[in-house]
Structure 1
Amino acid sequence: MGQQQITPKQRGYLIVNAHPAGCAASVRQVWEAIPPEPHEGRAPVVLVLGASGGYGMAVLLAGLRRHGVRGIGVAFENAGTERRTASAGWYRTAAMAELASASGGDISFLNGDAHADGTRAEVLKLLTERYGPVDHLVYSLAAPRRTDPATGEIHHSVIKPIGGDFTSPALLFEDGTPQIGSVHLTAATDAERAATVKVMGGEDWELWVRALADENLLGEGFTTVALSYVGSPITAPVYRQGTIGAAKEDLEATARRLQADVLPGRGRAFTVVAGAAVTQASTAIPSVALYTSLLREALGERGWRTTADQAVDLWAQLTDTTALNLDDQDRIRLDGWEVDPAVQARVLELWSDPAAAVAADPAGAAWFYAQFRALYGWDVPGVDYAAPVETSVAWPPRRP
């Protein structure tokens, strides 16, 4: 598209264009929120699947800034056209590459479908030729569809309750003004549940771990983690008790299977229960926007744990700087700040009359809206949106 002045094109919780400078500034915000840590000795090799946003991006940046990791970040992003900007993740990846290079890091970014055999083969080749065995594999994919590499069948995920319909209050925005509406979801069919597990469950994660093992690319003390979420009883009908929850249960079962069948004496596998966050994946889940805004109101700015904060905590556990915080299902927990009973009691109180809660104090809703817009590079402080910007940004070149 070249250099031009652009404005957001928004439909509800979907913005179909992204601002390059705003996306870059949002990445720098995450980077600067991570306390740097001097590191010496061998740089751990990391492979992050789903590296262009959310927890995957935060984990990669925290690993680089605090532990000097080297390795590969994989994402599946859109380069844009003459009429449309590139995807927000495309611009974020370009910004991450600049930060990595400026800090002396050795990170290669691959643009490809992480569910595809071809992408897996490309990653394995690059590991063999440049980086060697992987110390940490981070699985942080959130995709609407997946092509089964064995059958070629395309599976589509859905966000639906299981066993019955679900109606919930929801946070809506009309010209940026928060309003309380409602959402009604019909119950998932057995086929929809199975398809969601195929897309968002652990099958693909296991394929990656087995592929690394088959190519002798598991480092000594190898650890793999997959990002998961539990959340609140408030959101349970559409999350942990719904189709996404079924997929997360499969992910957790996969961790146990990997530990028992693939990694004995060779490494560890865990799911990581992260706390709430405003991500492109989470904004697609009905009722989660309202819940997250009320959670932010209940916690306040100081109580909220960002993706950067949680990524720092995760790396401390993965590198044995602190002990693993495991629950009774051997899941690493990063969400204690969210599921604290006192916090959840306050959120439930606000949830009992969300219209009154938002009217009395709209700060949480306004914060959520700003966070959502920033995902696409809009409303980021310090960015001049009136100035023309170069929208044609190259994907980071392969490192020599």
Structure 2
Amino acid sequence: MSERVISPRSRGFLFLDSHPAGCERLVQEMWEAAPEPARVPDDAPVALIVGCSAGYGLAATIAGLARTGIRGIGVCFEKAPTERRTATAGWYRTAATAELARRHGHEMVFLNGDAFSDAMKDQVADVLRQRFGRLDHLIYSVAAPRRTDPETGAVYASALKPIGEAYRTKTLVFDGDGTPEVKEVETAPAEGDDIEQTVAVMGGADWERWVDHLADRGLLADGFSTAALSYIGSPLTDGIYRQGTIGAAKSHLEATARTLDERLAKLVGGRAVTSVNGAAVTQSSTAIPGIALYVGLLRGALGEGMVPPIAQLADLWDQLTGVRPLETDEDGRVRLDGWELNSAVQAAVTERWESATTETITRLADLDWFHAEVQRLYGFAVPGIDYTAPTATQVPWPDAAA
């Protein structure tokens, strides 16, 4: 088994390697932070989490296991370790999650591949039929740069652009020494079919295809529920996010939820919703101009008052499983972001945003926390890990037959 010392090397917020031991410890921390089970089910619900290895999808998986006692299937797309490079962080996180599930007696199968493909949907359907019977819950949490349509073979690429006109915003960057700088950046507006392409990747088409695929095979249990994870965010980031190409995709996702909700109610007495989560540092969010600055300022304003993803997803599981009623807004969305979009919180963050410069940023934002959170995405800056010691990089993918 290959062992070596792994040091954090990055290009901006993107790290070139991941630390297996750090990723494992991070998963353990999330499991321990999950609220205690609200009740012990007589028959553990069967769940499918599409996009289970990172961000809110990882939180949904761990909260589902630790809080709700789910069993079932997680789907993700991660790269294996090679002789030169470590595996992706999601590979190590998935291995650690599988081990914790096994130790706690949860039957959880993890499949690695293209969630957009019909081949993966067929594989999931086969595992469901052979090992679990029917599906009670589906959590959809996929963020991807491109998607191949399984029917036509067309390849769609998502674009992170404003709609109508160029968008200027403050953003946060760190130089090679880790010194923070607040800069202004401009993003050109969407052109051509940028909006349609982004909706094809990040909208509700694949989510609906998953539900249809499993429904056609008679694999949805009575009362089946499904939630697609989403984000609205602050007016400070509206121009690039909710009012941009990604926002168009989120609107399509919400329209898909309404369509699925009506269909599932008739088919199995089921429900479909979008779950609007609060802000967090994720591999996806750090790529969006302005988001890093916003989240750092939000943490500066709220401190420990920020609600972590694991707590938010525990709340969602409680609603999906009937521990408490499923509550939606007028657009049929479960809102887990009230703590972030509270008017007093937004006023405090807006005041900090307007005052943020390279000279003032260290007192307005919690940059130590933000910088550590970015590193933790890749298994670094995790307390208790000796980063000077060699660590095994050749961690196997969880055995589906175990």
Query: TM-score when scaled to structure 1?
Result: 0.97
**Aligned mates of 2:194, 2:333 — CA distance in 1:** 26
Q: 1:217 aligns with which of 196, 216, 219?
A: 219
SS at match of 1:85: coil
Separation in 1, partners of 2:264, 2:62: 28
Give the conservation status (yes or no) of the 8 Å contact 1:350–1:357.
no
- Residue 272 of structure 1 aligns to a residue whose secondary structure is strand
Tell me how far apart the structure 1 counterparts of residues 321 and 120 of structure 2 sit (CA, whole Å): 28
Residue matched to 2:188: 186
3-state secondary structure, aligned to 1:329 = coil
Deviation at 1:325, TM superposition (A): 2.5
The secondary structure found in structure 1 opposite 2:193 is helix
Query: What's the CA shift string for 1:352-387, capped at 9, x where partnerless?
Result: 02125413345x122111101100011111110000
SS at match of 1:234: helix
Q: 276, 281, 295: which is aligned to 1:278? A: 281
Distance 1:398 1:227 in 2: 26
- Residue in structure 2 matched with residue 337 of structure 1 by the alignment: 339
Q: CA deviation at 1:282?
A: 0.7
Q: Is the 8 A contact 1:39 1:66 kept in 2?
A: no
CA distance in 1 between partners of 2:48 and 2:73 (Å): 5
TM-score by length of 2: 0.97
Compared CA separation, residues 39 and 222, structure 1 to 2 (3 A): same
Give structure 1 regions of 4+ aligned residues with deviation exceeding 3 angstroms: none
Q: Secondary structure at the match of 2:36?
A: coil
Do 2:134 and 2:221's aligned partners in 1 also have CA atoms closer than 8 Å? yes
Matched, 1:299 2:299: no
1-side partners of 2:307 and 2:360: how far apart? 22
Q: Secondary structure at the match of 1:51?
A: coil
SS of 2:6's partner is coil
Shift of residue 53, structure 1, vs aligned partner: 1.1
How far apart, CA to CA, are the structure 2 residues paired with 1:307 and 1:190? 36
> What residue is the counterpart of 1:36 in the other structure?
36
Distance in 1 (alpha carbons) for counterparts of 2:57 and 2:363: 35
1:1-400 equivalences under 5 Å are 2-37=2-37, 38-174=39-175, 175-266=177-268, 267-301=270-304, 303-355=305-357, 357-362=360-365, 364-400=366-402
Larger deviation: 254-263 or 115-124?
Answer: 254-263
Give the alignment's Cα RMSD to 1 decimal.
Answer: 1.2
Residue 2 of structure 1 aligns with an amino acid whose one-letter code is: S
| Contact kept? 2:356, 2:364, Cα under 8 Å | no
- Aligned AA for 2:372? A
Q: List per-residue Cα deviations over 1:248-292 (Å, max 9, x = no partner).
A: 000000011112235424111000000001111111111000001
Amino acid at match of 1:360: R
Aligned-partner Cα distance in 1 for 2:272–2:155? 27
Secondary structure of 1:264's partner?
A: helix
1:40 alignment partner, SS class: coil
Equivalent position amino acid for 1:225 in 2? A
Provide the C-alpha distance between the structure 2 equivalents of 1:8 and 1:206, rounded to a whole number of angstroms: 39
Q: Secondary structure at the match of 1:352?
A: helix
2:162–2:189 contact (8 Å) kept in structure 1: yes
Paired residues, number = 398
Where 1:150 maps in the other structure, the secondary structure is coil
Unaligned runs of at least 5 residues, structure 1: none
Amino acid aligned to 1:29: E
| Cα distance between partner residues in 1 of 2:178 and 2:101 | 35
Gaps of 5+ in 2: none
Deviation at 1:35, TM superposition (A): 2.3
Return the alpha-carbon distance in structure 2 between the equivalents of residues 177 and 33 of structure 1: 31
The whole-number CA distance in structure 2 between the counterparts of 1:360 and 1:93 is: 37
Give the whole-Å Cα distance in 1 for the aligned partners of 2:45 and 2:61: 12
